[in-house]
Amino acid sequence: MTVYKIMIIEDDPLIRSELRNMLCGNGYDAVAVSDFSTTITEVKRENPQLIILDIKLPGENGFSLCSQIRTFSNVPIVFVTSCNTDMDELNSIMLGGDAYITKPYNTAILLAKIASLLKRAYPTGNQEAMAYQGTFLHLETSKLECNGQQIELTKNELKIMYYLYKNAGKICSRNDLIDFLWDNQLYVDDNALSVNVNRIRDKLSAIGLHDFIKTKHRQGYFI
Amino acid sequence: MSCKLYWKQKIPLLILNGAGMSVLTVFLLLNGINGGSMILILSVWGAALAGYLAGAYFLRKAQLDKLLSLAKQLEERYLLPEVMERPVRADDLVFYRLLKLAGRSMLEQVSEAKREQAEYREYIEQWIHEIKTPITAMKLICENHRADHSKDLLVELEKTNRYTEQALFYARSEHPEKDYLVRELRLFDVVHQAIADNRYLLRQYNVQIVLTETEDSVYSDEKWLCFILDQLIVNAVKYRTGSPVIRFFVERSGNEVSLCIADNGIGIIDSDLPRIFEKGFTGENGRGASQTATGIGLYLCKRLCDKLGIGLSAASNEETVFKLSFYINDHIHQVQG
């Protein structure tokens, strides 16, 4: 998998470093600009795949930076700002911004926007499948494959399996799992999670995968 | 003009004339004028006086009635001195000048107050934008460094953000037309956004969310609509019962699409229902010991809905349902198509 480089142009040092931590924790390579007099050269040098741009900056503001970047690059730009006036939103669209997010942003929404922008800007084409112990999770077709046999998963079930595959071998607490589902607009509560997991287990048993998802008492699930 | 008062004020004049007549009578009697000519002289005096007084009265009354009706017609009555004719009588002229003077000083005061209010509102808006930077930083810190207390902090941060948003929207609700971006919106995208904004609150109380998702879209402003939904979600959580459920679904009737938000909370009693959108109204439920209703949330919702042209209604039977009705204009599709 390619690691995308994301550049953060934000003047608040605390937000800058936390944003970098957050992006690094989510599998991106994040770099931040700290000297705003040489932002443009920095952008040219780092050549990131996506830019997160604050509007209010010391010296040149985000809008003028955006139009300058647009003269040499089509890199996706996400505007983040605390001013949620429609003039700003309109400006950001007119100047070639790809997304507009207001502070305090929801990290889940920010990550989802980044992921969809990257996917659109750099299409990989190949079908994604996650593998673990001879089983394959096909994300595009929502199917799980083992020994040539396939089962179909619903939207909820696919997301649960995706999370377990991503954290294969680690214990996933019920809370984290529910948080992840909420991030993906599936509003599942504790009972519904148990119901979903049991349904997946039934399906897995049908293709000979018994006890594939294990329960760690009082902690959560893992594969 | 009071007729009685007018004549009362003419008493000195009448007394003076009566005295003049008496003196003249005595003078004429001493000079040996006979009764007939004396009556003639006195009645001529009397007639002239009555004629003058009556004429003056009706003229004055007509003049003042005209002014009164002019004032009544004016929408902005303080403009009367600018509109009325400049009077000719010396004493009237003094009052005219005084009226103008008073008007001018009042206008100065009003514009001063208006300017101060605008400045204050500007400051509030700027302050809210500034406070969002630290809120963002705190939120990021909590999300990056998960600990036992970070969930609780995130709930509080969500609350903090909601209150600041409310203040911002209150400041703007007077002129939302200055801050509009009407676009085609998928209703359930906005619902997802509103749920995401309140996720820590919803998770804290284990609220079950039931969506009947559709592809309906409407033309409205995302930010304002999201704010309205926020308020409704928070209310549903505030007045919850044992195992809270919030349902979102869409109803269609004629050329209207309605987004409904239904909860199984304690409900609103019938007698309160007509007044829940009034400013400062807290109702039976809101005054309960455990609740702290401010009477602002729903009032703001209604006010924004009115400005946005969205119908907002509430009903409370087995479920409490708030319904946001959007008028679907086919012309837009025709033009775009």
Instruction: Give the C-alpha separation, A202 to A208, whole Å.
Output: 10
- Tens-place pLDDT, residues B250-282: 998 888 899 999 999 888 888 888 888 888 887
Q: What is the pLDDT of residue A8?
A: 92
DSSP string, A85-142: -HHHHHHHHHTT-SEEEESSPPHHHHHHHHHHHHHHHS---SPPEEEETTEEEETTTT
Coil, strand or helix: which one is A152?
strand
In this complex, do B208 and A22 lie within 8 Å of one another by their Cβ atoms? no
Task: Spell out the domain ranges in chain B.
Answer: 3-73, 103-179, 183-336
Q: Parallel, antiparallel, or unpaired for β B208-211 and B245-253?
A: parallel
Instruction: Give the C-alpha separation, B41 to A10, whole Å.
Output: 103
CB A213 within 8 A of CB A169: no
Q: What is the ipTM, given to two decimal places? A: 0.77
Share of residues in chain A with pLDDT > 90 (%): 7
CB B325 within 8 A of CB B335: no
Cis-peptide into A104, omega within 30 deg = yes
In this complex, do A107 and B143 lie within 8 Å of one another by their Cβ atoms? yes
**B182 vs chain A: nearest CA distance in angstroms?**
10
Report the residue count for chain A. Answer: 223
pLDDT at B332 over 70: no
Contacts of A19 in chain B (CB under 8 A): 140
Residue of B nearest to A24 (CA): B144
**B123 vs chain A: nearest CA distance in angstroms?**
13
Nearest Cβ partner for A25 among B144, B199, B206: B144
CB B202 within 8 A of CB A108: no
In this complex, do A89 and B181 lie within 8 Å of one another by their Cβ atoms? yes
Residue of B nearest to A54 (CA): B133
- Tens-place pLDDT, residues A122-154: 877 655 678 888 888 888 788 888 888 888 888
Nearest Cβ partner for A106 among B179, B181, B196: B196
The two tokens of residue B76 are 């902005």
**Radius of gyration (C-alpha) of chain A in whole angstroms:** 21
pTM higher than 0.90 for the full model? Answer: no
**A13 vs chain B: nearest CA distance in angstroms?**
9
In this complex, do A83 and B203 lie within 8 Å of one another by their Cβ atoms? no
Place of tokens 């992840």: A180
- Of A53, A108, A34, the residue nearest B139 (C-alpha): A108
CB B96 within 8 A of CB B82: no
Nearest Cβ partner for A12 among B133, B193, B223: B133
Q: Please state, in angstroms and as integers, the Cα–Cα distance from residue B260 to each residue in B122, B210, B247, following that order.
A: 35, 12, 8
Which fold would CATH assign to domain B183-336? Heat Shock Protein 90 (3.30.565)
Disruptive mutation site among A15, A16, A79, A191 for chain B (greatest number of B CBs within 10 Å): A15
Q: What is the mean pLDDT of residues B73-95?
A: 87
- Tens-place pLDDT, residues A5-45: 999 998 888 889 999 998 998 889 999 888 888 888 888 88
Q: Which domains, ranges and CATH numbers included, belong to chain A?
A: 5-121 (3.40.50.2300), 129-222 (1.10.10.10)
**Radius of gyration (C-alpha) of chain B in whole angstroms:** 36
Q: How many helices (H) and strands (E) does chain A have?
A: 8, 12
Q: What is the pLDDT of residue A60?
A: 83
